Structure 1
Amino acid sequence: MTFDPSSGEGGAQPSSVFFERRELDQILRVYGRMVAQAEWRDYAMVGGKEAAEFAVFRRSGDAPAYRIEKRPSLQTRQGQWSVVGEGGVVLKRGRDLAQVLRVFDSRRFQVVE
């Protein structure tokens, strides 16, 4: 939920979706790891009425390489979390964010000699 500065009150607006602090912490841990590996360079976040999105970019100005989406309306069916790759392909979907983010653990294989 997000704060709406246009409302006279300081409360949350239940009709908008955004990430909670705990969720952002998990996402930013993965983001930091991928930046350290020189895989990702930039990110963007957006919240809306039906979904919140965390997009990551390989280079600034490019199309997003991956999007981590939160859609609470899908919680009881497919799960509210999804990782979407380039071209709109859903790579992983589920109810648990940590489980969904594990898709990035196996994204890159390195040859060990």
Structure 2
Amino acid sequence: MILLTENLRNRLLQNGQQPDTDHVPVVKFFNPFGVGTWLVTELDADNDTLFGLADLGFGCPELGSFSLSELTTVRLPFGMGVKRDLLFDATFPLSAYAEAARQAASIVESERLLHAAAATLRERR
């Protein structure tokens, strides 16, 4: 599976040119055999450095940068690799996903939890 289509790559590159913006995640990658989820909002001009929220299953998802080339080289059982969630359609900014993940100790997509996390962020401002 190709992790990034040309359209996704272009959207991520555009976001990468707008620093200090709380982007809505563009793409979600996951390990189909277990832990490992990445919500990606940006791609640097080097076409390799991604930015987003990463959950490697240790109970503490983190915002940061990670390598597209490294994600594509991960080898899992049965010759599989990291996959792109074809049905992922984010509606919240990355900060809401990060806050919900902090509260739940993993990346969540529950609308209820994301609405609550977004409300928490608004109260802090």
TM-score in same-fold range (> 0.5) = no
- Per residue, is there more strand in 1 or in 2? 1
Higher helix share: 2
TM-score when normalising by structure 1: 0.30
Q: TM-score, length-normalised on structure 2?
A: 0.28
Greater RCO (Cα-Cα under 8 Å, separation 6 or more): 2
